[in-house]
Structure 1
């Protein structure tokens, strides 16, 4: 949205009312936080049973004493359960420790240091390194490729996934080594890639033989409704297209059970897993198998995971509905903002008047509402239009959330009025 396209006369008429609302809100001395997508205490309480598991029997279904060393791929009890949930062959699924981000970091770090199994040389020896980043996107993804010095090239996120015309053009460059993707309930827009986009990513030709797609299915089962999204078997799609090693498929229980003590999953081709295990076997002697067994017994089955996620939806859905309702009531029809209406995931993406996102965040901070920084959803935290803001509704109570959103809407209006006056 550009201020030139807004009915500025109508907007400026609202100035006295909006200024008064802001000053009243600011005077309340609030301390509210919408910065990160953390599970609430109510959600974490759903997994309290885990703290008493696996019980006195530490032996998995294969007869392994999970208290001891070994088992680099993780125990089959949790791997088979998660493979069924995601529609993948169990032999292609590896179970690790709490964070899939740790595994992603290893994959990129080891490709940089040693080269991956399709690399002619280590990535560190390439003249130039580029990485495709659909935007708005996930800040922690961007931080990894930033650390390793990649030039991060952005492509727009559409309602069906990344702009594939832009992606195809970029992968014709051999210095483009990979691409970030959150294909289901994407962070922060909440969109889910269409089957056509998924197929296009699996089948497109790339100039780099060691090109990799990080397929971060962090929200694969995080529905806000009774319906669970389709999780595409991209390993099969890529193999059928002749690109069997293309996908590094990630998942985890981090926002399903205990955020700091879950199980991470890495699924990929047999060749990719062999390369990964060869290095991982030097780094360590195996994951926390006791925790994996506890999770397997807690869930019981793939349907058990879905049952837990319906409970999460019971906590999250009213919060998302409150955010959308207040945005509709306060900002609808004014042309000063547009927002996504996700049916799953952890975030709502808001685009405000171009050039005002930083001002909205500043005004909110002064009024006691902490927002994710403007630009956080873009590489290097630089949104060229200074327009996108990510909202995270999960952590506050409903009352706190409604209060914060009233303040947020007021800040959006005030920043738009200031921009109109400057125009």
Structure 2
């Protein structure tokens, strides 16, 4: 289990990590743009960044199954170590390409390669659980235009293994007629809830005895998958100091409806009348894992209002669920943002100020998406440096924001020669 945080440690601030480019290691297993990468890590460290997040792809097992080449990753981690940066390693079992922000294409790998990780630098392993590394079904695939925001997505329960499990569950419930297939009236990837009989507000199938049975089974299958993966990860890393984290998707569109259709198709049995995130948090808690959540930077009014998006309300619900389960919460921004408005939203969310009650807790960490040439542009870099300082000082900081921003301005001026080297990226 995760250790209790002492009263002395509470309110101490939130460490900031920065995601590396997806192609930080080349297909030839070398560090990409080595000179610029080294300058970038030096700049991040000097700005007060705690560490970096690195996606570890299947190219380490490219030559043959069970044959590993860690060359590029070893070099990158050693580079981070020289700059005294901690590393969050993402065990990326999913395919790179087809998700939001994917800048390269890499195939998946064998799960067993995690046994060969480098523990002297890596302090956290984020275990890949599904598409985009997230614990969810591939219910809204963007590749080839299958799904487009803000479609409700589609249930993923039609292969022979899922149908066999559904059949067994229906028979155990005394309703064998429910076990032949998933909902037939749940629409398609790009429908909206009211386009379908299953998700509609009035008398939707999701509220029927069959709907409740199906959604319980479907979401439990995802939880069972998480249990299995975490059990394996825990067995592998239990004799190390490495923390384990799991990423959960921030599915905020149609959150304002009763059914929360996009969350249901993804495997989160979360509706207006049922909390689907507490069971996930409790499952992670049983394995001592960190709950990592996205869309921390988003505000409700910035999203399409007709799709009833509510990222702020969703983040609040997740924060309450993790507090209830006594599980540490970490955050990420879902889309690249360099403006102070987004930074302020992250600061607010990271402080876990819920309903005006700030309490003593804060997020255990925040990972910033992502290192790129845009981050090191002068205005963006100045705002980022100030943001990191504010995050580290925490919500109980006594210094005024203006003082922090003046320090950031001075820092940017002093580090200008270093940052200029980064423009190779």
Tell me the TM-score normalised to structure 1 length: 0.27
Structure with the bigger RCO (C-alpha within 8 Å, sep 6+) is: 1
Tell me the TM-score normalised to structure 2 length: 0.27
